[in-house]
Structure 1
Amino acid sequence: MSRPPHDPAPDVATGPEKLIAVEEHGAEPVPHERRHGRPRQLLWTWASPQVGFATVFIGVLSVTAFGLPFPQAVAALVLGAGLGSVAHGLLSTDGPRFGVPQMVIGRLSFGHRGNALPSAVNALVSGVGWFAVNTVGGALALNSLTGLPPLPSLLALVVLEIVIGYVGHDLVHRFERYAFPVLAVIFLLAGAWILRGADLGGAGSAGSGGGVGGFGGFMLAFSAVFGFTAGWNPCASDYARYLPASTPPRATAWYSGLGLFVSIAVVSVIGAASGTLAAPAGASPTDAFTGQLPGWLGDLTLVAIILGAMAAATLNVYSAAVSLSSLALPLPGRMGRASLVALVGAVGTAAGWASLADAGHAFENFLLVIAYWIAPWLGVVLMERALRVLPGDVLAGRLQDRSFRNAAGPVALLAGIAVSVPLFSNQAVFVGLVPRVWPGVGDLTCPVGFGLGALLYALLSASLRRRARTISAV
């Protein structure tokens, strides 16, 4: 695909009037004349949403629920965050290349019709699951800080998040940019305080008869943090698609992956350290964390949790609307991306309301469930990317060609999910045959689902290509 000459591009928006103008583009390609921004903006766009309580809680679970001592928890958290971030950086490079969201690029892997399944699932997971999880965390922090009841706290945050997502791309980037330094400074202060008093060499809860511990606990923690990190992969190109097509792919990958990895690794490790300390009985998840800090720092951390929740939920509701746009549904009237943001936000708010009473368990169960579809999906799209041989203009044409089919993608995805079912290890949803018989293996869904999805896609693609060549030769 030919690229226009690289002209210096404005940082995010060209002026205040552009910043607050409602974004016009949804799933369609962004024209070259409207491309703007620099790859460094992806650093804070992906870092800010991770500097919040959801990331802290992953680290807490690795110790309190999965029974790992602090050093093993750190290893699982860093490994899972690292692998998910590498994939994120690679996928982000297709944003400037094609100028469309990640779920539209998925048409290359699944075909136009086959891509409807992962697009719909991502809209559901992002707009309902993640939007609810992140907003509930912020609402609990707002409740602790101000005494405002949880439901009004939830609704207050929802309104702000939907407004930012409704306006769209440039305002989202700008909000993340200004949130990042505030979040980083406060969480680093809180982390230093917690690390100073944490039990960094303890045996973990498994040593006291709780949790899983060992290899099983490691795999549960790895799956949770990988699912959390890779959960952003289906949105990777959503925030890079406005960059000029001449943007260096290495810079796009580096800034996207680094922003995601550093923030998740650092903040989740802080959470693991927090998990080694005793929490007050009956405290909410946010109070259990901030209760380990002095009053002034605890209040600052609550402010940061609120801001971080907004930073994450804004991306969730925006990307969910873009994923729905990629379905190319016959929507009534002038209902486009912006209107879909409001619709998704309303549904996500209802889910958040339902989970206010038991946010901790809801989040733990959700973390493991999302990895069940993300791993095989990621295996398919990364394998498709590795096998690409056609020029960019042909690939771009396929993205808009409603007749394009790729049966290998849907088959590999569904097979990867189906074969992973016996490996599920989620007490609230389903415990498969393997962890039921051998509890010590933990949850192997991520590596098996990823590997199987990638391998099946490669085999099926080769078979389909051979068959096409045979038919054309007859």
Structure 2
Amino acid sequence: MNSQQDQTAIIEDKSIDYVPEDERHGDARSLFTLWFCTNIAPLAVVTGAVATHTFHLDILSAISAIIAGHLFGGIFLALTSAQGPQVGIPQMVQSRAQFGRYGSLLVIFFATVIYLGFFISNISLSGRVINNVLPALNIPLATITGAIAATLIGVVGYNFIHKINKVGAWIMGGAMILGLGIMLSQPLPADFLQRGSFSLAGWFATFCIGAVWQLSFSPYTSDYSRYLSASEGIARPFLYTWLGACCGTILAFVFGMVAVNMVSGTNDAMVAVRQATGWLGPVLMVLFLINIICHNSMNLYGAVLALITSVQTFLPNWQPGSRVRVLFSLSVLTGSVAVALAASANFVEVFLNLIFALISVLVPWCMINLIDFYLINKQQYDTDAIFSADGGRYGLLNSRALLVYAGGIVVQIPFVENAFFSGPWSGLVPGANISWVISMVVTAIAYPLCCRRYPVWVASHS
């Protein structure tokens, strides 16, 4: 299929296969709108409020921590995104170059669970929001409606996801800036700027939340840049992804924080947003609903690509196309809706806690991925070897990489702080989960020392 046909096809014709250079299209600027719109989400608005209400920072300290955390974490997100045009394959397929054909299955499993967890949680959330906006639709029907809408977007695929976020970035960004203007144009509470105070622990805890937020997207970033031409280089995809992800999330975090500080008597950021933005409040709720559905389509798209990658690992001669992606999407839709409808009322909270706990396994993977691609393999991978039945130059199982990966998870345990477990040293920084920092440092030192080094390889794809 040539480039023009690829762009006009209704449903993306590829799944996990390599995108040849003559089928590449688009501009790196689309990565700004994609990651900007994706991050202006209700969960980001709610999370931003913890800076002042949970960690009791003053407004200016909270803003500085939010900005610093996202700018730092966004570096890793943007570095993974910039790999897409150079390798032309999804992020999880690329993991075979680091861990081997079979070794990559462990990382793919974790990523798939996280994708599915967020997809199920978000369809439950969208069901409740739809029911709130349209009471005539009961929650089960509303849940199914939200799930089908997200699945349809994911099924159409790459181009449609980019286009819908390009439009959404202007609408969501404009509405949120307008809402912020409405809030700040009102008489501010007398202690608005003086409420709370700076504390190193609170500042660092807020910083960590922002950094980990960005890191959590890294397993599927090249999924949305792999159709860009390799001539885009590294700098442009990096810069547009970094700016989009950081600007969108910082805006959403600050928006939620300002709202809860404007409205007294509530710690619920969404309730505060609706009250503080006046006539715009109901409109924002509808826009947030659309945003949940659009964002959830990316969870579905990533989960399906990861699932297909898992199966194709054992069937090296299998070349799954668009029909396979559609069938996998429908299977994920059916299973996820069944789980969401059967779940208890507190399922979303419990499940999100589990998913956030699992995010700790992404930090050592991210460091291994970046060091291997940028420093060891000099920004090039042998795509033929990645799809080879015997793993080619990367082998079936890279035991050294897996050992470093396991070590990067284990070293976090004493410092972990989550809903299920608190390590003996988890209180070193009160309220902050610093385990990811320990893992990042240990993995960054261990991997270059232990990794398998290959001769310099020159790309053969045109």
Corresponding residue of 2:307: 324
Letter in 2 for 1:460: C
Distance 1:165 1:389, change over 3 A: closer
SS state of the match for residue 276, structure 2? Answer: coil
Corresponding residue of 1:431: 422
1:452 positional shift: 1.4
Corresponding residue of 2:270: 286
Give the one of 137, 146, 157 matched to 1:157: 146
1:428-449 CA deviation, whole Å, 9 max, x = no partner?
A: 211111125x463731112111
Letter in 2 for 1:440: P
Residue 450 (str. 1) matches residue 440 (str. 2): yes
8 Å Cα contact 2:31/2:244 also seen in 1:
yes
Corresponding residue of 2:163: 174
1:391 positional shift: 8.0
1:360 positional shift: 8.0
1:424 positional shift: 1.2
Residue 79 (str. 1) matches residue 93 (str. 2): no
Matches within 5 A, 1:86-105: 86-105=75-94
Letter in 2 for 1:262: C
Corresponding residue of 2:291: 308
Distance 1:359 1:220, change over 3 A: farther
Distance 1:359 1:265, change over 3 A: farther
1:161 positional shift: 0.6
Distance 1:175 1:136, change over 3 A: same
Q: Percent identity?
A: 22
Distance 1:289 1:430, change over 3 A: farther
Structure 2 CA distance for aligned equivalents of residues 353 and 217 of structure 1: 38
SS state of the match for residue 230, structure 2? Answer: coil
1:258-299 CA deviation, whole Å, 9 max, x = no partner?
A: 111110111111112223244666x976334323321x2111
Q: More displaced, 359-368 or 104-113? A: 359-368
Structure 2 CA distance for aligned equivalents of residues 154 and 234 of structure 1: 26
1:359 positional shift: 7.7
Structure 2 CA distance for aligned equivalents of residues 50 and 180 of structure 1: 10
Distance 1:160 1:235, change over 3 A: same
8 Å Cα contact 2:117/2:351 also seen in 1:
no
Structure 2 CA distance for aligned equivalents of residues 347 and 68 of structure 1: 42
8 Å Cα contact 2:49/2:269 also seen in 1:
no
CA RMSD, Structure 1 to Structure 2 (Å): 3.0
Letter in 1 for 2:382: L
Matches within 5 A, 1:54-453: 54-126=43-115, 128-147=116-135, 148-196=137-185, 197=188, 200-204=192-196, 214-278=199-263, 286-294=270-278, 296-327=279-310, 328-329=312-313, 336-350=324-338, 352-353=340-341, 357-358=345-346, 361-362=349-350, 365=353, 368-389=356-377, 392=380, 395-401=382-388, 402-403=390-391, 404=395, 405-426=397-418, 428-435=419-426, 438=428, 440=430, 442-453=432-443
Tell me the TM-score normalized by structure 1: 0.83
Structure 1 CA distance for aligned equivalents of residues 343 and 257 of structure 2: 23
SS state of the match for residue 382, structure 2? Answer: helix
Letter in 1 for 2:239: W
Distance 1:431 1:182, change over 3 A: same
SS state of the match for residue 67, structure 1? Answer: coil
- Stretches of structure 2 that go unaligned for 5 or more consecutive residues are 455-462
What is the count of residue pairs matched by the alignment? 439
Matches within 5 A, 1:5-84: 14-15=7-8, 18=9, 20=10, 22-84=11-73
Corresponding residue of 1:471: none
- Stretches of structure 1 that go unaligned for 5 or more consecutive residues are 1-6, 208-212, 467-474
Corresponding residue of 1:469: none
SS state of the match for residue 242, structure 1? Answer: coil
8 Å Cα contact 1:103/1:235 also seen in 2:
yes
Distance 1:380 1:279, change over 3 A: farther
8 Å Cα contact 1:71/1:200 also seen in 2:
no
Distance 1:355 1:377, change over 3 A: farther
Structure 1 CA distance for aligned equivalents of residues 200 and 82 of structure 2: 35
Structure 2 CA distance for aligned equivalents of residues 348 and 277 of structure 1: 37
8 Å Cα contact 1:63/1:69 also seen in 2:
yes
Structure 2 CA distance for aligned equivalents of residues 251 and 158 of structure 1: 34
1:350 positional shift: 4.7
Q: More displaced, 160-169 or 134-143? A: 134-143
